[in-house]
Amino acid sequence: MASVPFDQLDGVIWFNGEFVKWADAKIHVLTHGLHYASAVFEGERAYGGEIFKLTEHTERLHESARILGFEIPWSVGEIDEACRQLLSKQGFEDAYIRPIAWRGSEMMGVSAQQNRINLSIACWQWPSYFDPEQRLKGIRLDMAEYRRPDPKTAPSKSKAAGLYMICTLSKHAAEAKGYSDAMMLDWRGQVAEATGANIFFVKGGVIHTPVPDCFLDGITRRTVIDLARRRGIEVVERAIMPDELEGFEQCFLAGTAAEVTPVSEIGPYRFQVGEITRLLMNDYADEVRPRQRLAAE
């Protein structure tokens, strides 16, 4: 993480079609996205100067905006190119990229039909989402108080800013108890995900993961499933109840920021950092670095 506040970092930010100085990328306090969470975003990682699955992320950004009822006035191709140019201008090889689109400040109220749709893209260096030493041993998760809502009550297929409010609350509560993160259930009481990553379990050489019917089917999640199946490892997507955690041998998280992170503990349940988890950590690391992979081949 940055050692200085994010509004004081150096460099440039892509803002509504232009590169502006980092300190000049500002919005008004009466911006609709701030008051009513009418904003969607993406999290992407660059490895060796290439942004992993960039177009998939940008396509999801467009789809998230559509679900929230607005259209981003830049195409997928234009946003992809802006991300690449920004990475180059920042001079980073390995970095985190954050595009965000939001309704502006032209109207203030629940209804904001005429508000401008804004888009910015920032890029910074972010080596590891979790403490690197703890990550190798497996991080500890608390059980979150808040639950993922019924899709009939929230736009769960959108990577929308408002859906992360309960994630922040849950992660803060977990950290206050000495945990790294929290596992969230859904409104039915089934296992859902962590606060910013999908969750996987291993038992008897088979991987089990919740069906993403009320939370994001993450791009990293799909990548890990594909990597496992390439290895001939069976992956079962199904409803998982909390009392099943006692029978699982391994657990790990998968997300753009988290990458593949082993879990050693969820509340009273304990897990090993086992062979399948370590294998997928290594396979994912190889997958995201295409230049090194091609050189090895």
What is the tens place of the pLDDT at every residue in 137-178? 899 999 999 999 999 999 999 999 999 999 999 999 999 999
d(CA 199, CA 255): 9
Q: Which two tokens stand for residue 272?
A: 């090993």
* 132-287: CATH number: 3.20.10.10
Q: What percent of the chain is predicted at pLDDT more than 90?
A: 92
Say whether 132-287 and 6-124 share the same fold: no
Say which residue the tokens 């509340």 belong to.
267
Taking the complete model, does pTM exceed 0.75, yes or no?
yes
Q: Which two tokens stand for residue 45?
A: 């990682």
d(CA 148, CA 251): 20
Q: Which of 159, 171, 177, 203 is catalytic?
A: 159
Categorize the per-residue pLDDT at 293 as very low, low, confident or very high, splitting at 50, 70 and 90.
Answer: very low
89 noted as active-site residue: no
Q: Which helix H or strand E contains 174, and what residues bound it?
A: helix 165-176
Q: Which two tokens stand for residue 70?
A: 């607005």
Distances in Å between the Cα of 296 and the Cα atoms of 196, 231, 289, 291 are 32, 19, 11, 9
What is the tens place of the pLDDT at every residue in 191-220? 999 999 999 999 999 999 999 999 999 999
Residue 296 has pLDDT above 50, yes or no: no
Query: Domain map of the chain by residue range?
Result: 6-124, 132-287
- In CATH terms, 6-124 corresponds, of 3.50.50.60, 3.40.50.2300, 3.30.470.10, 3.40.50.300, to 3.30.470.10
Taking residues 27-53, report their average pLDDT: 97
Taking residues 80-102, report their average pLDDT: 97
Q: Which helix H or strand E contains 54, and what residues bound it?
A: helix 54-67
